[in-house]
Amino acid sequence: LFNNLQLLPPDALFNIKQRLSTDSRPVKVDLGIGAYRDDNGKPWVLPSVREAEKLIQQDPDYNHEYLGIAGLTSLTQGAVKVLLGQDSPALKEDRVVSVQSLSGTGALHMAASFFTKFCKDKLVYLSDPTWANHNAIFETMGLKTASYPYWNAASKSLDLEGYLNAIKTAPQGSIFVLHACAHNPTGLDPNEEQWAKILKAIVEQDHIVLFDSAYQGFASGDLNKDAFAVRLGLEMLADSAPVIICQSFAKNVGMYGERAGCFHLVLPRQDASVDTEHVKASVKSQLAKITRSELSNPPAYGAKIVATVLNNPELTKQWHADMVTMSSRIIKMRHQLRDSLVSLKTPGNWDHIVGQTGMFSYTGLSAEMVQRLEKEHAVYLVSSGRASIAGLNSGNVEYVAKAINEVVNY
Ligand code: LMR
């Protein structure tokens, strides 16, 4: 059993957390993993979540029973409206299958299982760069991945031409994984005009779109604005191809460790020869089989919290305000970091830090600079130069700017 067993390196991202926890220096800054911190550098339980937890525990029927295999219906039904909007044609036409997943990773894994079963020869296209786990999830399931150009390192902007070209030259009917908003790791999203071009090219090639929606609300603070790409994609693909959406509540409800999320599959409008109800029921039965064999049924506690937030109008209102609190603090930190670097006269242009969106900034710092930041200044970020801006606060932003200035200059 153990003859061919290799020792694998630790996960690069989670290992940052590990190194940081054993660092005994008095001042250390965690810009590694994407998790929101408040201005004191502490994890933040959203006020809407605190209220939801109280309501759940006061419920006389409070229990820890199993959920159904497809998860909590009040979660999946509330969640799909957050993404698609109350007036979504796909919802009105009843073309959506939604099931609960183990957060975004579980939803992606569910998509990968589904592809493995029903279209295993399709290539899965991922942005270059993308969230490291994307490759791992699809490749572990035996799917072949390819990448599409995304980030132009020289101009720190979108390589739209390369992106469109990859869409056009990919085998027809390939799978394109698109970050719904707040692209991880670059913090760079296409603008509305660019999205329209990207989606038009996808429609023309009959590709299948998988939106990874892990940061809705983090880009602009407005859940509707941040659903722009998903909603445009659904509109443009409504008569041609299914769309899959993997939805995480790890960040926007702060359910990191609770693993609350959903998998949605939106069917295109079918002609009268197709029995849509039968297709939907079949999809749902296949998803149920995947869930039953892998986790039996999804975790309940985080799902109940999110469902309570989404279905109680007062709490929904509070949640929207919580999103604004988080996203506006991050934007403020972006400005403070950029301004400090400018006033220190740090060589280079740092405007991309404020131009980027969501939790991350692709700083442009080299792997060597990142290493020095950690070793000499106890400032931790990913070797690609990705910094989680949520880890900055009014107490450490100046320190970080000075540390960056030092490694860039000397
Ligand atoms: C991140 O990219 O930092 C987060 O999405 C956390 C994770 O699970 O990788």
* 34 CB near ligand 1 (under 6 Å): yes
Strand partners, 178: 211
Which H or E element spans position 104?
helix 103-118
Domains of the chain, earliest start first: 12-45+327-409 (3.90.1150.10), 66-311 (3.40.640.10)
Question: For ligand 1, what atom is nearest to the CA of residue 131?
Answer: 2
Q: Tell me the CA–centroid distance for residue 34 and ligand 1, in Å.
A: 5
| Mean pLDDT along residues 93-117 | 97
Q: Residue 253: what pLDDT? A: 98
* 187 CB near ligand 1 (under 6 Å): no
Q: Model confidence over 335-377: pLDDT tens digits?
A: 999 999 999 999 999 999 999 999 999 999 999 999 999 999 9
* 391 CB near ligand 1 (under 6 Å): no
Q: Model confidence over 207-247: pLDDT tens digits?
A: 999 999 999 999 999 999 999 999 999 999 999 999 999 99
Instruction: Report the share of the chain in percent with pLDDT over 70.
Output: 100
The yes-or-no answer on residue 251 being catalytic is: yes
pLDDT mean across residues, the chain: 97
Query: Cβ(399)–Cβ(29) under 8 Å?
Result: yes
Maximal CA-CA distance, the chain: 69
* 136 CB near ligand 1 (under 6 Å): no
Q: Which of 28, 156, 251, 304 is catalytic?
A: 251
Which H or E element spans position 354?
helix 351-355
User: What's the Cα-to-Cα distance from 174 to each of 19, 134, 168, 241, rounded to whole Å?
Assistant: 39, 16, 11, 11
| Residues, the chain | 410
- Confidence (pTM): 0.97
Instruction: Report the share of the chain in percent with pLDDT over 90.
Output: 98
3-state secondary structure of 204: helix
| Mean pLDDT along residues 296-310 | 98
Query: Cβ(295)–Cβ(68) under 8 Å?
Result: no
Q: Is 143 left (phi over 0), alpha (psi -120 to 50) or beta?
A: beta
Q: Tell me the CA–centroid distance for residue 31 and ligand 1, in Å.
A: 12
Q: Which of 159, 189, 212, 322 is catalytic?
A: 212
Q: Residue 20: what pLDDT? A: 96
Query: Cβ(270)–Cβ(279) under 8 Å?
Result: yes
3-state secondary structure of 360: strand
| Mean pLDDT along residues 164-175 | 98
Residue 133 contacts by C-beta under 8 Å, 6 or more apart in sequence? 105, 108
Amino acid at site 321: A
Q: Model confidence over 33-92: pLDDT tens digits?
A: 999 999 999 999 999 999 999 999 999 999 999 999 999 999 999 999 999 999 999 999
| Mean pLDDT along residues 81-106 | 97
* 131 CB near ligand 1 (under 6 Å): yes
> Cα 153–158–159 angle (5° rounding)?
80
- Give the position of tokens 């769309």: 243
| Mean pLDDT along residues 102-128 | 97
Statement: residue 271 has pLDDT above 90: no
* 13 CB near ligand 1 (under 6 Å): yes
Q: Which of 131, 195, 319, 350 is catalytic?
A: 131
Question: For ligand 1, what atom is nearest to the CA of residue 32?
Answer: 3
